[in-house]
C-alpha cells in the first residue's frame, strides 16, 4: 500500500470518529492522519510540510508519530535511505504490508512464480531496465549458441512439452521411470514440494542434477563404468538423450569425460585414439603403467611387463614376452582397454542417445566448440567470470542510493574472490562446508556453469531499498535476478555472512 492509497482510504472512510487538524499545510485534504488505520497511526504533521524535512528533527518527529509501534532506528534508516520523507513513509508502509512469509520466505530462490513482481511503484528506472534486459543475452560462444538455437527450432516442437515431476533425492530414478526413448520435446520440470512454474530456472538446475547423478552411477574416473544392469535398462542411452535435450535447454554439458572418450564420441572409431595413462580409471593399473613408462633398463622392463603385470591379459595383450621395443604399443593398448574398450557397449549406447535432435551430427561437425561441454576440467570458473555474468541495475550516478549500491557490488566481488580461493565456508547442519563459485552461480540462475545456449535474459543484480532489514538476499532463477536488500550489506563481513547463510539454506543445496 502506498502513502497515497493510505490517504485515500482514510479520507473516504466514514468510520473515523477522531481526526487531528494538521498544524500546517494548504488544507486538511493534504494531510495524512488516522487514529483507526493500523498502517498510519495518528499524526499531526502535514505531508507537504514534511516533504523537505528528510533527516531533520521535524522529519524524525513525523515518522515517530506515524509509526509509534515501530523502532526509532527503523524510522531513521528509512529516512537515510530515501530522498524525501514521502518515500521514507512509503517504505515503512509497504514493509508493513509484507507478510512474515514474504520477509523470511526468500531464503531460497523464488524460482518461477508466474508473475513475480520485484519492483516498487516508484522504481520506473528499474522497470524500464528490466524490460530492456529481458531482450539481452549472455553467452561465452555466440556461434555455438546460434547453432544450438537453430537446432532447437528445427527438431523441438515448442507447442509440446515433456512435463516431469521429480524428487531432488531421486532425480535419476524418477526420470528413468518417466522418460521415453522418443522424447525430444522441451522439458518442463517441477521439483516435488517446491511449487513453481518452470520458466527456465528449474530446468537448468534439473539438467545439472541429472549430470551429477549420471556421473555418480554411470561413470568412474571420467570413463564409462561397465554396468550390465544399467545397460539393459537403457540408462546410458537415456543419459545421451538427456544430454542432447539439455544442451538445447540450458545444460552446460556433462563436463566429466576424458579427451579420449570425447574423441571416440566424435569419430566412432578407436583407430586414431591415443589415451594417456592419466586417463585410466583403475588406479593400480595407472600407477603400474606410469612406473613402466619411466623405466629405461630393458631387462627390468621385460621382467615387470612380462611377469608382473597380470592385468595385461584382461586387456587382451597376450604376447608371451614384452620387451622394451613393445613399450609404446603395450602402454597404448592397456590404456585403450581401460578407458574405452572395457565399457564400449555402454559408450556406444550413450552415443546413440546423442542422436536425439540430431545433436551427434552437430557435435561431429564442430568438435572444438563442444569439447569444453563434454571434457572434465576443460574450463574452470573464476571470480572474474561470475562477476562479468551479472549486470547490476544502478540508481542514478551521484545519488545516495548509487553510493550504497557501489559498496554492495564491491563487497560481492570480494565475496566471489574469497570463494575462488576457497575461503568462504558455512555451517550446514553439523558440518562445515565450502561454498564454491559454481554454487553461487547456481543460487542465482539454477546453473553451475554458463549453459551452452547462454543465459536469456542476462543475469541481473537489483537493489531493494524499500524492504525491512529482516528481508534476506533472494533470487528469481527464471528471470536470472539476484536481489540484494540494501540494509547492512555495505559491510563486507555482513555481506559474506548473509550471502552464505541464504545460499546454504536454499532448497536443494548439496542434497544430491
**Cβ atoms of 334 and 311 closer than 8 Å:** yes
Residue 17 has pLDDT above 70, yes or no: no
Q: Comparing 2 with 157, which gets the higher pLDDT?
A: 157
- If pLDDT is split at 50, 70 and 90, which confidence band does 198 have? low
pLDDT of the residue at 507: 64
Name residue 219's beta-bridge partners: 224
Residue 38 has pLDDT above 80, yes or no: no
Residue 73 has pLDDT above 50, yes or no: yes
pLDDT of the residue at 187: 86
Pairing assessment for the beta strands 460-464 and 391-392 based on DSSP bridges: parallel
Residue 384 has pLDDT above 80, yes or no: yes
Residue 243 has pLDDT above 90, yes or no: yes
Q: How far apart are CA 2 and CA 8, in angstroms?
A: 10
- If pLDDT is split at 50, 70 and 90, which confidence band does 509 have? low
pLDDT of the residue at 135: 52
Residue 262 has pLDDT above 80, yes or no: yes
pLDDT of the residue at 183: 78
How many CB atoms lie under 10 A from the CB of residue 434? Answer: 11
pLDDT of the residue at 440: 93
Q: Comparing 133 with 267, which gets the higher pLDDT?
A: 267
Least confidently predicted of 349-363, 367-381, 463-477: 463-477
Q: Where in the chain is the domain with CATH 3.30.2410.10?
A: 383-505
- If pLDDT is split at 50, 70 and 90, which confidence band does 30 have? very low
* Domain 138-255+344-362, CATH: 3.90.1750.10
- If pLDDT is split at 50, 70 and 90, which confidence band does 379 have? confident
Q: Mean pLDDT throughout 17-42?
A: 37
The owner of cell 533472494 is 474
Per residue in 310-326, pLDDT (tens digit) is 999 999 999 999 999 99
Reported pTM: 0.69
Residue 72 has pLDDT above 70, yes or no: no
The CATH architecture annotation of domain 383-505 reads: 2-Layer Sandwich (3.30)
Residue 511 has pLDDT above 90, yes or no: no
Distance of CA 364 to the CA centre of its chain: 29
Q: Where in the chain is the domain with CATH 3.90.1750.10?
A: 138-255+344-362
- If pLDDT is split at 50, 70 and 90, which confidence band does 77 have? low
Neighbouring C-alpha atoms within 13 Å toward the C-beta of 72: 6
- Tell me the torsion sign for CA atoms 172, 175, 180, 185: negative
Q: Comparing 7 with 491, which gets the higher pLDDT?
A: 491
DSSP string, 415-464: HHHHHHTT--EEEETTEEEE--HHHHHHHHHS-SS--TT-BSSPPEEEEE
pLDDT of the residue at 120: 36
Average pLDDT, the chain: 79
pLDDT of the residue at 446: 83
Per residue in 103-113, pLDDT (tens digit) is 333 333 344 44
Pairing assessment for the beta strands 431-434 and 223-224 based on DSSP bridges: unpaired
Residue 292 has pLDDT above 70, yes or no: yes
The three-state (H, E, C) secondary structure of 478-500, written as one string: CCCEEEEECCCCCCHHHHHHHHH
Taking only Cα atoms into account, the Rg of the chain, rounded to an integer number of angstroms, comes to: 30
Q: Mean pLDDT throughout 51-63?
A: 59
Q: Comparing 386 with 480, which gets the higher pLDDT?
A: 386
Q: What percentage of the chain reaches a pLDDT higher than 70? A: 72
Q: How far apart are CA 20 and CA 26, in angstroms?
A: 15
Least confidently predicted of 17-21, 212-216, 368-372, 457-461: 17-21
- If pLDDT is split at 50, 70 and 90, which confidence band does 205 have? confident
pLDDT of the residue at 123: 43
Q: Comparing 85 with 189, which gets the higher pLDDT?
A: 189
Q: What percentage of the chain reaches a pLDDT higher than 90? A: 49
Q: Mean pLDDT throughout 98-104?
A: 33
Amino acid at each position: 500500500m502506498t502513502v497515497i492509497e493510505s490517504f485515500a482510504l482514510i479520507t473516504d472512510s466514514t468510520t473515523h470518529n477522531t481526526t487531528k487538524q494538521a498544524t500546517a499545510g494548504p488544507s486538511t485534504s493534504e494531510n495524512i492522519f488516522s487514529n483507526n488505520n493500523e498502517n498510519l497511526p495518528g499524526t499531526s504533521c502535514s505531508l507537504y510540510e514534511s516533504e523537505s524535512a528528510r533527516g531533520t528533527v521535524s522529519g524524525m518527529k513525523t515518522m515517530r508519530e506515524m509509526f509509534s509501534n515501530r523502532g526509532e532506528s527503523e524510522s531513521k534508516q528509512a529516512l537515510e535511505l530515501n530522498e524525501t520523507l514521502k518515500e521514507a513513509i512509503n517504505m515503512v508502509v509497504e514493509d508493513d504490508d509484507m507478510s512474515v512469509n514474504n520477509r523470511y520466505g526468500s531464503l531460497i530462490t523464488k524460482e518461477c512464480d508466474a508473475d513475480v513482481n520485484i519492483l516498487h511503484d516508484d522504481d520506473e528506472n528499474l522497470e524500464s531496465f528490466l524490460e530492456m534486459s529481458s531482450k539481452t543475452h549472455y553467452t561465452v560462444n555466440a556461434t555455438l549458441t546460434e547453432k544450438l538455437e537453430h537446432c532447437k527450432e528445427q527438431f523441438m516442437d515448442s507447442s509440446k512439452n515433456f512435463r516431469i515431476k521429480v524428487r531432488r533425492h531421486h532425480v535419476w530414478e524418477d526420470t528413468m521411470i518417466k522418460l521415453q526413448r522418443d522424447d525430444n520435446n522441451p522439458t518442463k520440470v517441477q521439483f516435488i514440494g517446491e511449487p513453481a512454474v518452470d520458466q527456465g530456472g528449474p530446468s537448468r538446475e534439473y539438467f545439472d542434477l541429472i549430470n551429477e547423478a549420471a556421473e555418480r552411477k554411470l561413470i568412474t574416473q571420467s570413463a564409462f563404468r561397465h554396468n550390465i544392469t544399467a545397460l539393459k535398462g537403457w540408462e546410458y542411452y537415456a543419459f545421451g538423450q538427456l544430454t542432447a535435450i539439455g544442451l538445447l535447454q540450458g545444460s552446460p554439458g556433462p563436463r566429466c569425460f576424458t579427451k579420449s572418450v570425447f574423441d571416440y564420441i566424435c569419430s566412432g572409431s578407436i583407430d586414431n585414439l591415443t589415451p594417456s595413462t592419466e586417463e585410466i580409471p583403475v588406479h593400480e593399473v595407472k600407477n603400474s603403467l606410469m612406473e613402466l613408462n619411466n623405466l629405461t633398463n630393458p631387462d627390468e622392463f621385460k621382467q615387470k611387463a612380462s611377469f608382473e603385470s597380470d592385468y595385461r591379459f584382461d586387456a587382451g595383450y597376450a604376447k608371451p614376452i614384452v620387451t622394451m621395443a613393445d613399450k609404446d604399443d603395450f602402454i597404448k593398448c592397456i590404456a585403450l582397454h581401460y578407458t574405452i574398450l572395457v565399457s564400449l557397449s555402454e559408450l556406444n549406447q550413450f552415443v546413440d542417445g546423442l542422436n536425439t535432435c540430431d545433436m551427434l551430427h552437430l557435435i561431429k561437425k564442430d568438435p572444438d566448440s563442444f569439447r569444453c561441454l563434454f571434457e572434465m576440467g576443460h574450463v574452470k570458473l573464476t571470480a572474474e567470470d561470475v562477476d562479468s555474468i551479472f549486470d547490476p541495475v544502478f540508481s542514478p550516478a551521484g545519488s545516495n542510493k548509487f553510493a550504497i549500491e557501489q559498496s554492495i557490488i564491491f563487497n560481492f566481488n570480494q565475496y566471489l574472490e574469497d570463494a575462488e580461493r576457497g575461503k568462504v565456508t558455512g555451517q550446514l547442519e553439523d558440518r562445515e562446508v565450502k561454498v564454491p563459485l559454481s554454487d553461487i552461480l547456481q543460487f542465482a540462475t539454477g546453473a553451475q556453469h554458463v549453459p551452452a545456449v547462454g543465459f536469456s535474459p542476462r543475469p541481473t543484480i537489483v537493489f531493494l531499498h524499500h524492504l525491512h532489514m529482516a528481508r534476506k538476499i533472494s533470487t528469481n532463477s527464471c528471470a536470472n535476478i539476484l536481489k540484494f536488500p540494501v540494509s547492512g550489506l555495505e559491510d563486507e563481513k555482513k555481506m559474506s555472512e548473509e550471502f552464505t547463510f541464504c545460499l546454504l539454506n536454499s532448497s536443494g543445496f548439496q542434497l544430491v
